[in-house]
Structure 1
């Protein structure tokens, strides 16, 4: 993470509270919902973000787009569903919320 306030884009429904947990760690969080597109990611600040946290594996095709827009981006899937195989090479980490609480994940991502 950068020495300035870390930033994250959290995309998808956040039923397990990863966005709030990141905010508790001092991260500036932008939230996106619905069907996502490259322009929405750009408008949300993905180009300068430190983290892209996806909570909806149905939107997994946004991970290569986000990586294309930001070479230094860390990509995280925080979801109960399995990540599609074709995405795994561009993903830094995938965590099932049933196995690790959002506050622990946020702490690990920031510190």
Structure 2
């Protein structure tokens, strides 16, 4: 599957989930790593990455626990592992909804 096809598939999963968050106070869409991400009070908590994976911000300990499960992996940018960012492939699409909820709750709790 091409990256473009993977991103299209990811948006088929992500967009309906994102719509419910956009109804909440303080949630909008904004730029993040070249994509458009869901934000709470200006801080991104989830977006679709350029290869079609859901990218969520979670506590570092949770990322450690999930890394390697169901194809999920810690996000790496420019050879640097990102402590609090997890890539969740479309093949684990059934996990997107609960992980979005976790990401929202985490970023909401740390954002003034």
Q: Which protein is richer in helix relative to its size?
A: 2
Q: Which has the higher contact order (CA 8 A, sep 6+)?
A: 1
Which range, TM-score by smaller chain?
Answer: 0.3 to 0.5
Normalised to the residue count of structure 1, the TM-score between the two structures is 0.38
Normalised to the residue count of structure 2, the TM-score between the two structures is 0.38
